[in-house]
Amino acid sequence: MRFAKKTTDAQSLAGGYCLRVLSLGLILAGTLLSAQAPDKMKRVDLPDIKPAPLKPYASLEIPANIEPSGLVKSRLWNDVYWAHNDSGDIPRVFAMHRDGRMYPSEREGAAHGVHIPDAVNVDWEDIATDNQGNLIIGDFGNSRTNNRRDLCLYFIPEPHPSVGMTSVQRKVFFAYPDQTEIPSAVSNFDAEALFFANGHVHILTKHRSDTGTTLYRLDSMETGKVNMLTKLDSFDTRGPVTGADASPDGKRLAVLTYNGVWVFDSVGPGAWFDGSIRWMPLEDEDQEAITIDGENLIISASEGEGNLYEIPISKLTVVRK
């Protein structure tokens, strides 16, 4: 019995020690996480400038203008721009010329797009291109209650603009590390902006609880599991973010909101909100997608019309050098 008693005392002592070590470990882990967490939302003072009215230079052909939601310039083909509709359309993308004319599909004829039968358009919101020759479609529209558990990205080898059908190479599910409940009481986990830079996919959220956006990076792309995003930074865009695009070298980021357009020049990988910033307030409130085209920005807007607008980056006001 004494031996058993000693053993029990030793186990209790060891158990208490383990609990103290575990508690210390949790405290240290929490300290590290706090140290790694981004500072409070960054912002810049904006001058009092009258919003600029936009005049379309072209329009998307029907049916690509049902509800234009994503737009990106091809990195493979000259004079090819990819667009897609929101959740009201079948899973397809449209290859178009810069003036909005569609490339004819070899299967369906003009303006029917490239069908992706093994994808599902739950709520497609933006499209990007990477440095591996892929299109990336963000199926991450998440409503006001932020109640989706199937947020995902589709990776598709960028097809030739004349093909009528293609397939998904990879489907990657993801989640936000700071969303602690579904549905969420804080409506900051909807997204309409996607871009690829510095070897990674990035997502900018559309906030409804404040006027900013949060920047996340996808570091893991395993299939068959939910990949947790990495939270990088946040910025007060003064309105809901509806689209984004990065230059091929990753140094420049264009961000579109319902009431303005921003261009950020990074001071290092992922540090777009710390460099020089340009901004232009916009008069319209139906801007949906944006892509960088050299020294210009192309914006699509107007559900049912699919208007295209061009803005030289030089026309934006420098709000931080």
Residue 306 lies inside a defined structural domain of this protein: yes
- State both tokens at 111: 């303006």
Q: What is the pLDDT of residue 9?
A: 42
Q: Are residues 189 and 278 in the same domain?
A: yes
Q: Are residues 19 and 116 in the same domain?
A: no
14: pLDDT strictly greater than 50: no
- State both tokens at 311: 């803005």
110: pLDDT strictly greater than 90: no
Instruction: Work out the percent of the chain whose per-residue pLDDT is above 90.
Output: 75
Domain count, the chain: 2
Residue 154 lies inside a defined structural domain of this protein: yes
Q: Are residues 120 and 5 in the same domain?
A: no
Beta bridge partners of 226: 173
Q: Are residues 307 and 249 in the same domain?
A: yes
Write the DSSP symbol of residue 198.
T
Which class for 12: exposed (0-12), middle (13-18), buried (19 or more C-beta within 10 A)? exposed
Residue 45 lies inside a defined structural domain of this protein: no
Q: Are residues 134 and 259 in the same domain?
A: yes
Q: Are residues 184 and 298 in the same domain?
A: yes
What are 229-274's pLDDT values in tens digits?
Answer: 999 999 999 999 999 999 999 999 999 999 999 999 999 999 999 9
Q: Are residues 63 and 18 in the same domain?
A: no
Q: What is the pLDDT of residue 150?
A: 97
Q: What is the pLDDT of residue 286?
A: 83
What are 275-293's pLDDT values in tens digits?
Answer: 999 999 998 778 899 999 9
Residue 34 lies inside a defined structural domain of this protein: no
pLDDT band at 108 (very low <50, low <70, confident <90, very high): low
What are 188-209's pLDDT values in tens digits?
Answer: 999 999 999 999 999 999 999 9
**What domain range is 218 assigned to?**
55-320
16: pLDDT strictly greater than 70: no
Q: Are residues 22 and 166 in the same domain?
A: no
Q: What is the pLDDT of residue 251?
A: 97
Question: What does DSSP say about strands 213-218 and 226-228: parallel, antiparallel, or unpaired?
Answer: unpaired
Q: Are residues 128 and 13 in the same domain?
A: no
Q: Are residues 13 and 139 in the same domain?
A: no
216: pLDDT strictly greater than 80: yes
Residue 257, CA distances (Å) to 37, 151, 262, 281, 285 in order: 25, 22, 8, 9, 8
Q: Are residues 142 and 180 in the same domain?
A: yes
Residue 47 lies inside a defined structural domain of this protein: no
Residue 226 lies inside a defined structural domain of this protein: yes
Which conformational region is residue 231 in: left (phi greater than 0), alpha (psi within -120 to 50 degrees), or beta? Answer: beta
Q: Are residues 18 and 113 in the same domain?
A: no
306 vs 111: CA distance, rounded Å: 13
Residue 243 lies inside a defined structural domain of this protein: yes
313 vs 177: CA distance, rounded Å: 34
3-state secondary structure of 203: strand
79 vs 281: CA distance, rounded Å: 28
Residue 44 lies inside a defined structural domain of this protein: no
DSSP E strands: which ranges in 11-80?
Answer: 58-59, 68-73
At 287, which CATH number?
A: 2.120.10
69 vs 130: CA distance, rounded Å: 19
21: pLDDT strictly greater than 70: no
